[in-house]
Amino acid sequence: MKAKITLLPGDGIGPEVTDSAKYILDSVALIFGHDFIYDSKAIGGIAIDQQGSPLPDETILSCKNADAIFLGAVGGPKWSNPNSKVRPEQGLLGIRSALNLYANIRPVKIYPELVGASPLRSEILEGVDIIIVRELTGGIYFGKKSRNKFSASDLCVYTTEEIERIIKVAANLASNRKGKLCSVDKANVLETSRLWRDTTNKILKNEYPEIEVETLLVDAAAMHLLSRPSEFDVMVTENMFGDILTDEASMLTGSLGMLPSASLGESKIGIYEPIHGSAPDIAGQEIANPCASIASVALLLRHSLGLEKEAKAVENAISTAITSGARTVDISLKNQSGISTLEMTTEIAKNIN
């Protein structure tokens, strides 16, 4: 297969983990006989510094012409002034909107060897294998905003169409797994959540009657995600709730450095990125965990390129490396210093077959 992949390294540790992703993609191409062509473009803080915009036109064009997009991370203290009209995060929100990527898929899987890295008790973590589906282009993040000296507002809006399409994504995933779906809202307070719940119930009753459905308020979901995580299969929720719950779910694995994500829409083009952010405090130290980025590569191979065998080979290689004892500092055990980003990457690459 010949495929064009746009790389968006971004800020902080973004370039380091993007290098890891490219290393793995090159390994896959060599082993399985593919031809991956790369186009690297600026996004986020570095794009502001270089071109005055967090999302330059040439970046959008490259992404629209790509078969898949890998993104490192955006943001950092240099650009953290919340009152600034130009911020790195606008690049991320902008590219998702430009490509109409409305479904964010975040798998949360526990490696038995890493149970000790989590602050939760081992018996709670046994059998945890969750996919969290987050609506990505609606809600309070994209609503109209206003502010004056004495007040501010952020408008949260959802349409039935937006809710229906994300529920169908989650339901289709659940249908191919354990057949369990948990929908998360705040219907006791918010009108958008009441619309979310009514629309969800209608879609699931009429089109997915075989699915076992659980509905939770977001505060209860946050509690149960830590008290009984193994009982969840697929969770679906709106933009802001999903942003918070997926970061919380990282504590199940013990590190943000283990969680990949895929942002998908109607076409095969998707953006694949680790959820850990730019981590500017460790940028340039070569200690960032590349596992989330490499797992995101597996999602890229599966969802955008249709290369299931190659995706599984990458996922198996991560598991093999961890089983063999390879650890970066964030998932290292007591009295273990951890290996570098490059060392972890090469350890995983050598296990791809």
- Residue numbers annotated as active site: 141, 186, 219, 243, 247
Question: Which contiguous run of DSSP H or E holds residue 118?
Answer: none
Residue 122, helix vs strand vs coil: helix
Residue whose C-alpha is closest to residue 203's, from 178, 239, 174: 174
Distinct helix (H) and strand (E) counts, the chain = 12, 12
The answer to whether residues 318 and 346 touch, using CB atoms and an 8 Å cutoff, is no
In the block, residue with structure tokens 């993609």: 25
Burial of residue 340 (CB within 10 Å: 0-12, 13-18, 19+) is: middle
> In 25-44, which positions are buried (b, 16+ CB within 10 angstroms) versus exposed (e)?
bebbbeeeebebeebebbbb
- Rounded Cα–Cα distance for residues 204 and 44 (Å): 38
What is the DSSP annotation of 249-315?
A: HHHHHT-GGG-EEEEE-SSS--EEEESS---GGGTTSS----HHHHHHHHHHHHHTS--HHHHHHHH
Q: What angle do CA 176, 180, 186 make, to 5 degrees?
A: 130
Tokens of 346: 């090469």
